[in-house]
Amino acid sequence: MLDSGSTAFMMVSAMLVLFMTPGLAFFYGGLSRRKNVVNTMLMSFAVIGIVGITWVIAGWSIAYGGDGSNPVIGGLDQLGLSGTVADMLAEAASTDEIAYPAVVDIVFQMAFALITCAIVTGSVAGRMRFGALAAFIAAWSLVVYAPLAHMVWGGDGSLIGGIIGALDFAGGDVVHISSGLTGLVLCIALGARKGFGIKAYRPHNVPFVALGAGLLWLGWFGFNGGSAFAADGIAALAILNTVVSSSAGLASWMIVERIATGKPTLVGACTGLVAGLVVVTPSAGFVEPWAAVVMGLVVSPACYLAISHLKGRFGYDDALDAFGCHGIGGILGGILTGVFCVPELSWTEYGGLLYTGDASLLVSQLLGILVTAVLVLAADAVLVVIVRAMFGGRLRVTDAEEALGLDVAAHGESAYPAYTGLDI
Residue 89: predicted pLDDT: 83
* Cα 27 from chain centre: 13
Q: How far apart are CA 139 and CA 116, in angstroms?
A: 14
Q: Are 98 and 3 in contact (CB under 8 A)?
A: yes
- Beta-carbon contacts of 210 under 8 Å, excluding residues fewer than 6 positions away, are 30, 266, 270
Nearest in space to 253 (alpha carbons), one of 239, 236, 235, 266: 266
Q: How far apart are CA 221 and CA 163, in angstroms?
A: 29
Percent of the chain with pLDDT over 70: 98
Domain boundaries, the chain: 4-411
Q: Are 103 and 81 in contact (CB under 8 A)?
A: no
Question: In which band, very low, low, confident or very high, does the pLDDT at 99 lie, cut at 50, 70 and 90?
Answer: confident
The DSSP result for 36-48, as a single string, is GHHHHHHHHHHHH
Digit-coded pLDDT (tens) for 287-296: 999 999 999 9
Digit-coded pLDDT (tens) for 361-379: 999 999 999 999 999 999 9
194-224 burial code (b ≥16 CB/10 A, e <16): eebeeeebebbbeebbbbbbebbbebbbbbb
What are φ and ψ of residue 199, in 5° steps? -100, 155
Digit-coded pLDDT (tens) for 7-58: 999 999 999 999 999 999 999 999 999 999 999 999 999 999 999 999 999 9
Q: Find the radius of gyration of the CA atoms of the chain.
A: 21
| Residue 420 pLDDT greater than 70, yes or no | no
Q: What share of the chain is helix, strand, coil (3-state, %, to 5)?
A: 75, 0, 25
Least confident of 23-32, 312-321, 357-366, 389-398: 312-321
DSSP SS3 for 335:
helix
Q: Are 286 and 346 in contact (CB under 8 A)?
A: yes
Which runs of consecutive H residues, i.e. helices, occur in 154-205?
178-190
Percent of the chain with pLDDT over 90: 88
Digit-coded pLDDT (tens) for 405-415: 999 999 999 99
Beta bridge partners of 396: 128
Mean pLDDT of 111-129: 97
Residue 93: predicted pLDDT: 76
Which runs of consecutive H residues, i.e. helices, occur in 262-359?
266-280, 289-305, 311-314, 322, 328-340, 353-356
Residue 424: predicted pLDDT: 42
Question: In which band, very low, low, confident or very high, does the pLDDT at 419 lie, cut at 50, 70 and 90?
Answer: low
| Residue 253 pLDDT greater than 50, yes or no | yes
Digit-coded pLDDT (tens) for 190-212: 999 988 877 777 899 999 999 99
Output the pTM of the full model.
0.96
Digit-coded pLDDT (tens) for 215-249: 999 999 999 999 999 999 999 999 999 999 999 99
The DSSP result for 347-403, as a single string, is SSS---HHHHS--HHHHHHHHHHHHHHHHHHHHHHHHHHHHHHHTTT--BPPHHHHH
CATH of domain 4-411: 1.10.3430.10
